[in-house]
Amino acid sequence: FRECTSLTSVVLPDSLTQLGMAAFHECTSLTSVVFPDSLTQIGKQAFADCTSLTSVVLPDGLTQVGEAAFKECTSLISVVLPDSLTQLGDGAFWECSSLTSVLLPDSLTQLCTGAFGQCSSLTSVVLPDSLTQLGDSAFRKCSSLTSVVLPDSLTQLGEQPFRECTSLTSVVLPDSLTQ
């Protein structure tokens, strides 16, 4: 369905467990997606450049969101991530410039490179106590982000995870950091 620019809504079937690469890439009129509870993986760039998508509620049971899955969904304001999620791929929500806040689930152990890079409206983020690795440029150019508390579980901090966060005034680094 890539580049089906008139497509406005999608209801995925209950039998679906994996959504493939670029399945709905550049469906620029897409505003609504209903995900089945059976879904465990969303593939690379599955909804990249769906510029009319405003909110996403990901299903319980989902464990992986692929690389750039929601990249440049510039109207995306709200994302609900399930407690089953363990990994957000590289650039999963890169340049979702309308996203203002995100609550990461306690199941998440790794936040990959650029996961929320260039989310310029992001003002707050709650990092879960389960997080052990924060990837390179994870929050790069989140110019509205003002404060960050890193969890005590964090052992690895990637390169420049908060580069060009020009409004960041406060950060608390945990004693658990080794890298």
Q: Residue 136: phi, psi to the nearest 5? A: -55, 140
The model carries a pTM of 0.94
pLDDT tens digits along 4-41: 999 999 999 999 999 999 999 999 999 999 999 999 99
Q: How far are the Cα atoms of 32, 93, 121, 142 from residue 117, in angstroms, in the given order?
A: 24, 7, 11, 6
> What residues pair up with 111 in beta bridges, in sequence order?
88, 134
Task: With a cut of 90, say whether residue 124 has pLDDT above it.
Answer: no
What pLDDT sits at residue 149? Answer: 84
Question: What digits encode the pLDDT tens for the residues 34-60?
Answer: 999 999 999 999 999 999 999 999 999
Q: Could you tell me where the DSSP H helices lie in 34-117?
A: none
Question: Cβ–Cβ contacts within 10 Å for residue 44, how many?
Answer: 20
